[in-house]
Structure 1
Amino acid sequence: MNDNAQPGRRYRVACLGFVFDPFAQGVIDRIAPGNFDLSYAERPEDMTEAMLTESDMLLVVAPVTDGMMAKASHVRFIQKWGTGYEKIDVAAAARHGITVAITAGANANTVAEHAVTLMLTAMRRIVVADRAVREGRWIPAELRPVSQRLHGKTVGIVGFGNIGKAVARQLRGFDCRILYYKRGGPVADEAASGARYAGLDELYAQSDVVTLHCPGGAANRGMIDGAALAKMKRGAVLINVARGELVVEDDLVAALENGQLSAAGLDVFAEEPLAPGSALRGLENVVLTPHSAGSLVDDIAIMANHSFENMLAFQRGERIRAADLIVDPERPRLPLPERTAP
């Protein structure tokens, strides 16, 4: 913890990653603490050496490597915008004495809402219908054989953290039967969520819709491969708003082409932006969005305020909320002398 908070001190914060577009920057600048001096790098090529060497804290969705931490000698706190922190070298952060935190639950309802939107859009072929009308084609008879409702379906939620639970809550209005899988087993508040724990094989076999809400990283990379897809109910729908690396995309394409899956809704991909030659672009039974589940005007201030609360707590020497704290180093990096204000 920080025992050296200095009242009146200014802090330089480097904001790194694709979420920090010019519109977001304007919102964040308006609500940032008065003693924070923010700099932004929306793209990797926008990041300067000084953003690392001169910053006191990092606010990121971009990767943070061991080498970056070594250069960032003033940085003692890294705040992840969102929850997935697999692109931050947390082992290196611990070695460097850098505290790492996330914004647990801050955008859970937002991302869950996108997942439900993808379910409805994919199952009802909304994109195909919209394009047909714009092109002057009236195709209700063509849509009927490939469209289905969400109401009353069995939905399997893989990963039952804040976002998975939010999906379960939002699906209550559709009278869905909800199954969930969590690596650690059933959760204590299962009854409150209206969901029932199931093993992965059972979940795959019974679910009309399988929606992914688990973290990336080595443990889950490629978990949705040909073998997993073959275990799913024929004609099921796959939704992924979690991490692209969870899915083997070639196997997914094959399942969508041969009818093992009837549709998919994807917000994340193994390679981002999605490659121009990706076979997913040519499939009409897939809805594609550009990793935008959390890219809402409403969400910027929510995420920024949560992040700033953690940053201010750290600088005051207060403990970060347990759900957010990812790295609490045994030997925290000592603060360097304050530099001249920019």
Structure 2
Amino acid sequence: MPPSPTTVRLACLGFVFDRHAQALIRQGAPAGFELAFAERPQDMSEAMLAESEVLLVTAPVTDAMMARAPRLRFIQKWGTGYDKIDTEAARRRGIAVAITAGVNADTIAEHAIALMLATLRRIPLADRALREGRWISGEIRPVGQRLYGKTVGIVGFGNIGRAVARQLRGFDGEVLYFTRGGPVAGELAHGARFVPFEELLAQSDIVTLHCPGGAANAGMFDAAALARMKPGATLVNAARGDLVVEADLVAALTSGRLAGAGLDVFAEEPLRADSPLRSLDNVVLTPHSAGSLMDDVPIMAAHAFRNITAFLGGETLPARDVVVPPAAPRAPVSSKGRDDDTR
């Protein structure tokens, strides 16, 4: 039977939509939604793309994909970083784009702090050595550091950057931050102080990145910026891989200019098998998993579905979620007569 005219066909595209997440998302889907899932763009059939009225994504969405999706009216990003969505093409095609602002900010902030601790204390190295039968406490002592009392510089002070500042309070250090927009109202309530970028680099024992990627910030941490960091500092990146020039970071780590790095994101993902980052004992690596907890899936899904149903109902979306407003959206296409098993 063909679906009801009120059926909303939604394609979920991206690595986070594994079978465990799918079950939770299906549980939270409103009545009348027909969901299809693809963990990789190449797994998304042409029919699935052509039939979808809404995309829920972590994967890239290109102009070419939009061209093959005549019914597409709304793109909902799972999370906040939308640099992989061609927003100019969406705007030109009348396709609205939204994010789920702030939903997993505390989760990502927690992961950034975990990277700080793991890197400073050389926890992965100690774990690996112990499993191999080596007792290396004497080797770790000269290179290990504590987080307590350190100065942490936060680059980017949105929801995640502010969450990092709040969570660092228990470590009794100084928290600095830089954002291109200048000081943020109520900064002291978050336990942080605005400083210029150069001062943040020079004063921070740890620099943690929480700003957008894309053309505006690509290569922000190149050889010159890394050289201006405090000698022996640690770099943490749980934002976007293109913020850091990886070859320059490797050089700073191998020379001893920087003490360590905790990285959740990379210029190319998955991280290449031949990446020199894999061989460095002063680097902690995680697979872009800072925001990937099952705890967050129902919360994220509920937020996404609120935005989607609001858009479809002609209601106003939360301003902080809107990336491309529905100023001149595509007209809805009736689902009458469509093949029910098209995916």
Say whether residues 1:302 and 2:299 are aligned partners. Answer: yes
Amino acid at match of 1:143: I
Root-mean-square deviation (CA), in Å?
Answer: 1.2
Pairwise CA distance, 1:176:
1.6
- Partner in structure 2 of residue 109 of structure 1: 106
Pairwise CA distance, 1:329:
4.0
Within 2, Cα distance between the matches of 1:120 and 1:330? 46
Pairwise CA distance, 1:93:
0.7
- Partner in structure 2 of residue 189 of structure 1: 186
Most deviating of 159-168 and 125-134 = 125-134
- Partner in structure 2 of residue 328 of structure 1: 325
Deviations 1:247-279 (A, max 9, x none): 000000000001111010000000000000000
Most deviating of 244-253 and 129-138 = 129-138
Say whether residues 1:129 and 2:126 are aligned partners. Answer: yes
- Partner in structure 1 of residue 252 of structure 2: 255
Report if the CA contact (8 A) 2:6-2:32 is conserved.
yes
Within 2, Cα distance between the matches of 1:107 and 1:280? 27
Pairwise CA distance, 1:339:
3.1
Within 2, Cα distance between the matches of 1:277 and 1:252? 16
Say whether residues 1:81 and 2:78 are aligned partners. Answer: yes
Query: Any idea what SS the aligned residue of 1:180 has?
Result: strand
Most deviating of 159-168 and 313-322 = 313-322
- Partner in structure 1 of residue 56 of structure 2: 59
Within 2, Cα distance between the matches of 1:63 and 1:132? 39
Say whether residues 1:24 and 2:21 are aligned partners. Answer: yes
Percent identical among aligned pairs is: 66
Report if the CA contact (8 A) 1:100-1:326 is conserved.
yes
Within 2, Cα distance between the matches of 1:42 and 1:332? 27
Within 1, Cα distance between the matches of 2:65 and 2:152? 41
Deviations 1:220-258 (A, max 9, x none): 000000000000000000000000000000000000001
- Partner in structure 2 of residue 96 of structure 1: 93
Report if the CA contact (8 A) 2:5-2:336 is conserved.
no
Query: Any idea what SS the aligned residue of 2:215 has?
Result: coil
Within 1, Cα distance between the matches of 2:336 and 2:172? 59
Deviations 1:104-134 (A, max 9, x none): 0000000000000000000000001111111
Within 2, Cα distance between the matches of 1:221 and 1:167? 22
Pairwise CA distance, 1:285:
0.2
Within 2, Cα distance between the matches of 1:129 and 1:244? 26
Say whether residues 1:234 and 2:214 are aligned partners. Answer: no
Report if the CA contact (8 A) 1:230-1:260 is conserved.
yes
Deviations 1:134-170 (A, max 9, x none): 1111111111001010001000000000000000000
Within 1, Cα distance between the matches of 2:165 and 2:337? 51
Query: Any idea what SS the aligned residue of 1:317 has?
Result: coil
- Partner in structure 2 of residue 267 of structure 1: 264
Report if the CA contact (8 A) 1:95-1:329 is conserved.
no
- Partner in structure 1 of residue 196 of structure 2: 199
Number of residues of Structure 1 aligned to a counterpart in Structure 2 = 336
Give matches, 1:131-210, under 5 Å: 131-210=128-207
Amino acid at match of 1:152: G
Give matches, 1:280-319, under 5 Å: 280-319=277-316
Report if the CA contact (8 A) 1:8-1:35 is conserved.
no
Structure 2 unmatched runs, 5+: none
Within 1, Cα distance between the matches of 2:335 and 2:269? 38
Within 2, Cα distance between the matches of 1:143 and 1:40? 45
Within 1, Cα distance between the matches of 2:280 and 2:76? 38
Within 2, Cα distance between the matches of 1:275 and 1:55? 33
Query: Any idea what SS the aligned residue of 1:205 has?
Result: helix
Deviations 1:11-32 (A, max 9, x none): 0000111111121111111211
Match of residue 339, structure 1, among 325, 328, 336: 336
Match of residue 38, structure 1, among 11, 14, 35: 35
Amino acid at match of 1:287: V
